[in-house]
Structure 1
Amino acid sequence: MSFRTIDFLFAVVLVLTNMMGYSQQKVAFGTLTTAEKNLSTYEQDTLAHAVVLYERGDNYFEVINRRIYLVKEYHTKIKVLDELGLDYATISIPLYKNGSSVEKIKKLQAITHVDGTQYRVLPSEIFTKDVSDYKSIESFTFPKATQGSILEYNYKMISPFVFNFNGWAFQSEIPKIYSEFNAKIPGNYRYNRTLTGNLKLDLNEAKIQKQCFHIAGYPKDADCEVLKYAMRGIPAFKAAKQFMLSEKNYISRLDFELSENHRLDGVTDKYTKSWKDVDEEFRTDQDIGRQLTKNVFFEKNVRGSLLVHQDPLIRAKNIYSFIRNHYTWDGQYGVYGKARVKEAFEERKGSASEINMSLINLLNAGDIKTNLMLISTRESGLPKRNHPVMSDFNYAIAKVEIDGKTYLLDATDKFMPFGMLPFRALNHYGRVMDFKEDSYWFNIQPENENSYFVRANVKFDVEKGKALGVLDVVTQGYEAIETHKNLKSLSPQAYIEQMEQSIGDDYTIISHEFYEERSDERRASERFSFEVDNILQGNRVYINPFFVLFFKENPFKLEKRNYPVDLGYGRMYKYQLSMVIPEGYNVAELPEKQVVHMGDKIVTLEFYNQQMPGQISILFKLALNKSHILADDYEPLKKVFEHVTDIQRNSLVVLEKDGERSRK
């Protein structure tokens, strides 16, 4: 991931020639080039289902009825390359509203180009749907769309929200041949802007146009900043199905954020503030700052013994356990907007912010130093560090200091032990709002003792030709939490069926036992008894020694990945097998040992076997020692997991009946 602030006052103009022949002039709506008509495969991405041939946006400001509006014009052409590309034939345009202030679409045109014929979207085929009090969707579907079609549309949006000048996404899930963004900004509006992603601009141009913006009644016209940014040959952003943070962190785009508005009446509205300004606002904010001053309420409404234990760590754990069990999380994050901890406490239900602010209040009432920590969840993107962007934060947790040690707490999850955060909150860092001092950044360190350990013991019933085995499974850390959740949410039979899916169709689990005395919040110990029918067949028997598969397939399937692998937390998988050699058989072959280390032991893979009198032992160990693995290490990581899946699926113990080898 790379972040680069664009200096719009001193931009360098790069000569840009689009491969489809586009110039820097607007392309007339409804016209196609010969190259566009003839394109059947996109050579730069032959697996693409569709490709954006051309895309242009123009953002500017306009005075309508003595009010300043933001105007957004958009024009694009998409080529459908195969049947799956027809997914892009339905278009949805989000529109924002706030009371009587609403965004509106003007002059929407849409055409399906099919073999020289144009099919237009009629006004009656355009639909608007409210999805919330603040958002609606205008949508339509291109008629007659088929493989080889070109889908073209443009529109003009009028917005009363000048802060909604929010940028441009150059990259998307399909490739783009050419994408251009233009803007004309009156000098009284100041925007911070950031280029995200690892792609470089092919065109980066800025200039000043004098006296370009006029409002009737004001004697002086404003100068404008005129911007032009473009990229060509933009690859599709291919998101991984797992082990990644939000694609917002990596997708190539240009973000704008309103910093200041110098109004024509001489008043300046500042939107981007310093952290000192933000800290002061939070102290007095009714929905956050004041909600953290309810210590007395909580002291009066909990049993006194909760707050008096001499050991502060035990006191903190008791308070955490009380809040975690008292509340039911309603699924809402609730950082901004109405937050009322008293009402939530009485109703025993609340948002994440209400629950965790209640926790902070009660910990402080128990004389345990605790602060609010604002974070962004994994799916929401990383907060910007260079200046406060409060909309980057969507979640709140508690930061506790006890005897010089820090604990991060989130009481929304009834299975989460003291000092561990839910997976959604493992997003690297957050901002601690210390209302007595200045706020500061603080890193999130995930639990490092996370493991999945299986000890298998297998013997054979030669007469019946079956294998009988026991799996002792011990999980720890986040792996144990997952076990506890599954045991709670699934019926015994469903839980057994889930385990059977991890070992294969020929295996039957005949019993399961959970060991309460060997388990706690961070650890789960259980035993499965299983059998495999018809495993001893013929004179030569092939047995896969893995009666549990940690990974049925390689989770890293992308050919290339230009962004990090983020596991959330490091983890270790260990499988240990002791197998009794069946009577009347001998060992003909054992799988080869393998030892693979990636980098400075970022990932280690070990696979050993040993034959002893009457039995075979197998040891498999995979340690993922870092939770965040850089993009440069993706290929080595992918190779390691090719070994992992190959070992689990293709390792064979070969048994022969006694005397078979001598007959050969």
Structure 2
Amino acid sequence: GNSSNGGYSAGGPAPGEFVDVLNTWEKLGDDLIEFYANKGFYRTGALERGLFDLDLSGGTEREKAEKAFYYLRDNFVNEGEDWIYPTQSLSQLLKAKKGAPGDLILAYMGILKSQGITCDPVLIGSKGYGRSDLVMFPFLNQFDEILLLAQLDGKQQFIDLSDPMAPFGYVDIDKHVKGGLLLQKGKSQLVPIEVKHNSNNMVIASIELNEEGELVMQNTLRSYYYSGLRVAHIAEDYGKAEKPLEEMFEGKDEVMQVRNAKVENLLEEKNYVNSTFEYVQAGAGEQELLAFNPLRISSFAINPFTQEYRVFPIDFDYPFSEIYTANIKVPEGYEVDDFPTNENITIPGSLVSFNYAVENIGNILKVTAKLDIRVSLMPVESYGDLKYFMETVAAKLSAPVILKKVTKP
């Protein structure tokens, strides 16, 4: 390529292209900065003309950054491959009002810079793109996506614009990697990437026999951060396909019918998504025995690990907890016939743990369970332990509680 575009063709270097061994991270960074600058992404004049209706006067740096983020996210169409090379110049992007995630994040960088906010691109090799550890040599071909690192009111903040449903500060799961290349003129360097979040799921179920003789389980599922984002995406897909939300929560058996499903996306305000729905078993009141699984909503009620051996480490995406509480109101004229025993289990190294308990409080049978996954990447050598552990978890989470009618003497 000629020197005007930093020596790269628009699509970036071809795989296996000759790499100058004397390259340094600084030189690599400067080349890329020059490439972005030639596309107009370090100039702020065009932005001020093109985004004249975006008012960023007043507020903290974080407030300005959030406002600009939502402005771009909600007024520009996000389409195309997430890639480190912009697909168009800044002025083309402003005219078209649509672009790939890389175009949008670089334009966003320009907006923040125009406000005097320190921010720079960070190149990363997304999960599944290359190796999980960066090679310590300045090879550009190990990077495929861009994050932005900003200093907002003295605090570091990673920002990503690749998912149109993700709130400010959320980083696509594929970009939760160990480190990346921070691009700064003359001093580009590898930096660690840390994205803190508690993406837990909490489930509360209350179970009773209603006056119509139906067994009703009312469920509230609260999914935080990235777990919530996942639920929001699924609900969105159901909406687009015009499928009823009830189908999202249907189980394998046909005994229980799903009713009144609602999914409320509160990620921007509260960092969680709230799902409510009922499982209903008709005609339950006519049976001598009521057998049901109080924690049937768990995705781990079926063991996901069934192969005997494993070659690659197991990636859970991120550490998380699942916390379940079910309150079963024992109906008048019934007694508790059987329920699962308590359980407390972990594996060597305590990478995961699970506890399960049942207690009787008056006419309420309370079932609680908690699953803790403490690391996102499980080493291969833990696979046998994990498989056995998950079998135990699945057995407990799918175990029934049995109530039976009291026989009158």
Q: Give the one of 73, 77, 81 matched to 1:332.
A: 81
Distance 2:268 2:223 in 1: 9
Deviation of 1:354 (Å): 0.7
Compared with structure 1, are the counterparts of its residues 504 and 346 closer, same or farther at alpha carbon in structure 2 (3 Å cutoff)? farther
Partner of 1:353: 102
Please report the RMSD computed on the Cα atoms of aligned residues, expressed in angstroms: 2.8
Contact residue 576 and residue 619 of structure 1 kept, 8 A: yes
Q: Which has the larger radius of gyration?
A: 1
Partner of 1:495: 245
Compared with structure 1, are the counterparts of its residues 633 and 397 closer, same or farther at alpha carbon in structure 2 (3 Å cutoff)? same
Q: Give the one of 308, 333, 336 matched to 1:584.
A: 333
Partner of 2:216: 468
Which residue identity is paired with 2:79?
D
Q: Give the one of 46, 49, 52 matched to 1:300.
A: 49
Deviation of 1:514 (Å): 4.5
Q: Give the one of 451, 454, 469 matched to 2:203.
A: 454
**1:392 matches 2:109:** no
Q: Which residues in structure 2 correspond to 1:33-432 (within 5 Å)?
A: 258-259=18-19, 270=20, 273-285=23-35, 287=36, 291-303=40-52, 306-336=55-85, 338-382=87-131, 384-432=134-182
Partner of 1:478: 226
Percent identity, aligned pairs only, is: 16
Larger displacement relative to structure 2 (586-595 or 440-449): 440-449
Partner of 1:438: 187
Deviation of 1:453 (Å): 1.3
Higher strand share: 1
Distance 1:659 1:337 in 2: 75
Structure 1 residue runs of 5 or longer lacking an equivalent are 1-133, 135-160, 167-256, 260-269
Deviation of 1:300 (Å): 2.6
Compared with structure 1, are the counterparts of its residues 584 and 518 closer, same or farther at alpha carbon in structure 2 (3 Å cutoff)? farther
Distance 1:280 1:647 in 2: 56
- Aligned residue pairs total 395
Deviation of 1:541 (Å): 3.8
Contact residue 328 and residue 366 of structure 2 kept, 8 A: yes
| Cα-to-partner distance string for 1:217-274 (whole Å, 9 max, x where unaligned) | xxxxxxxxxxxxxxxxxxxxxxxxxxxxxxxxxxxxxxxx845xxxxxxxxxx36622
**TM score, norm. by length of structure 2:** 0.87
Deviation of 1:553 (Å): 2.4
Partner of 1:642: 391
Distance 1:606 1:378 in 2: 31
Deviation of 1:604 (Å): 1.8
| Cα-to-partner distance string for 1:285-339 (whole Å, 9 max, x where unaligned) | 2x46653312121123224763322311111111111111122222212423754
| Cα-to-partner distance string for 1:557-577 (whole Å, 9 max, x where unaligned) | 332224322222222212210
SS in 2 for 1:387: coil
Q: Give the one of 400, 403, 409 matched to 1:652.
A: 400
Compared with structure 1, are the counterparts of its residues 535 and 616 closer, same or farther at alpha carbon in structure 2 (3 Å cutoff)? same
Distance 1:413 1:521 in 2: 18
Contact residue 356 and residue 367 of structure 2 kept, 8 A: yes
Which residue identity is paired with 2:141?
S
**TM score, norm. by length of structure 1:** 0.55
SS in 1 for 2:384: helix
Distance 1:594 1:337 in 2: 53
Contact residue 327 and residue 348 of structure 1 kept, 8 A: yes
SS in 1 for 2:104: helix
Compared with structure 1, are the counterparts of its residues 306 and 412 closer, same or farther at alpha carbon in structure 2 (3 Å cutoff)? farther
SS in 1 for 2:328: strand
Distance 2:276 2:264 in 1: 8
Deviation of 1:278 (Å): 1.1
Distance 2:337 2:363 in 1: 13
Compared with structure 1, are the counterparts of its residues 632 and 272 closer, same or farther at alpha carbon in structure 2 (3 Å cutoff)? farther
Distance 1:483 1:377 in 2: 22
Larger displacement relative to structure 2 (532-541 or 388-397): 532-541
Higher helix share: 2
Deviation of 1:479 (Å): 1.5
Distance 2:348 2:37 in 1: 45
Structure 2 residue runs of 5 or longer lacking an equivalent are 1-10
Deviation of 1:536 (Å): 4.9
